[in-house]
Amino acid sequence: MVIDLIILGLVLFFALIGAVTGVSRQVANLVGLAVAYFTSRRLGPLAGPHLAEALGGPLFLGVILGTVLLFICTWLAVRYALGALLLRILATGQHNEHRGVDRFLGFVLGGAKMGLIAWVVLSAIAFFEQHVVIAGRRVGLSPKESLSIEVARRYNLFELTQFAPVKNLVEVARAASDPKRAGQLKDDPAYKALRKDPRFQRLLQDPKLKQALARGDTAALLRHDGVLQLIQDPDVAARLGAAARASEREP
């Protein structure tokens, strides 16, 4: 319960900071960082040789200096210009002195950013506890009776994004071993492509993995290098998702 109160306090604190700065400055800062990153990454190597020649230094120094200067200049320019434009749109009054909408949206965005950070951290803790085993025991890091930890376990960011194909793999393997559901899969293009993949075939023939698939033990599957290599292939991940959906369709 203590960790829940700490997270709530942090969310409120950063929400208040967001209200002070306003949504216009927050959005302008984020957009400025993104634009500056892509601009400096593309143009830094082009400006590097000219800077190196002008300074009489090595090429790598010119590239680094050019990248840093482009990043800072682009970030400041976009931040100032976009911030002023957004403030002009959101503020009211003759001299844009009334910033009620800007501050309210800033309050929401500031709290949302802190909430997102907390979700990522708690998801990492919950994922580590569930899937990492040391000396035959799972590691316990989170306090008991924490509502935020329970939410992170139920809606784990890493399981929903990076490791969602593992659940699809379990679903496809179970469907393939069920005669009724296997009939629905036999004509599915995604499943046909998976059957032709030697990596998929090796996993299905591994006795330990077959047991883990039958139990739906995602923790054991994630500890297997072959499974991780398979699900990290974008094409295979897409086929697993398509085949899992096909296995759930009504005949």
For residue 158, being part of any structural domain is answered with no
Q: Which residue carries 């499974």 as its tokens?
A: 227
For the cut 60, the answer to whether the pLDDT of residue 133 exceeds it is no
Residues 223 and 172 in one domain: yes
pLDDT single digits (tens) 167-223: 888 888 888 777 777 777 777 888 888 888 888 888 878 888 778 877 777 767 776
Residues 13 and 119 in one domain: yes
- Name the phi and psi angles at 92, rounded to 5: -125, 170
Residues 33 and 89 in one domain: yes
pLDDT on residue 234: 86
Residues 10 and 107 in one domain: yes
Secondary structure (H, E, C), the chain: CHHHHHHHHHHHHHHHHHHHHCHHHHHHHHHHHHHHHHHHHHHHHHHHHHHHHHHCCCHHHHHHHHHHHHHHHHHHHHHHHHHHHHHHHHCECCCCCECHHHHHHHHHHHHHHHHHHHHHHHHHHHHHHHHCEECCEECCCCCCCCHHHHHHHHCCHHHHCCCHHHHHHHHHHHHHHCHHHHHHHCCCHHHHHHHCCHHHHHHHHCHHHHHHHHHCCHHHHHCCHHHHHHHCCHHHHHHHHHHHHHHHCCC
Q: Which residue carries 């295979």 as its tokens?
A: 236
Q: Enter the tokens of residue 43.
A: 């143009």
Residues 185 and 110 in one domain: no
pLDDT single digits (tens) 155-176: 878 777 767 788 888 888 888 7
Residues 6 and 113 in one domain: yes
For residue 130, being part of any structural domain is answered with no
CB-count exposure of residue 195 (10 Å: 0-12, 13-18, 19+): middle
Residues 119 and 184 in one domain: no
pLDDT single digits (tens) 39-65: 998 888 888 888 888 888 788 788 888
Q: What is the CA radius of gyration of the chain?
A: 26
Residues 6 and 121 in one domain: yes
Q: pTM of the entire structure?
A: 0.65
Domain that holds residue 82: 2-125
CB-count exposure of residue 112 (10 Å: 0-12, 13-18, 19+): middle
Residue where a domain stops, chosen among 125, 145, 174: 125
Residues 115 and 53 in one domain: yes
For residue 72, being part of any structural domain is answered with yes
Calculate the average pLDDT of the chain: 83
pLDDT on residue 48: 83
Residues 7 and 114 in one domain: yes
Residue where a domain stops, chosen among 125, 150, 177: 125
Rounded Cα distance between 143 and 139, Å, is 12
Rounded Cα distance between 195 and 203, Å, is 11
For the cut 90, the answer to whether the pLDDT of residue 107 exceeds it is yes
Strand partners, 134: 137
Structural domain count, the chain: 2
Residues 114 and 221 in one domain: no
For residue 132, being part of any structural domain is answered with no
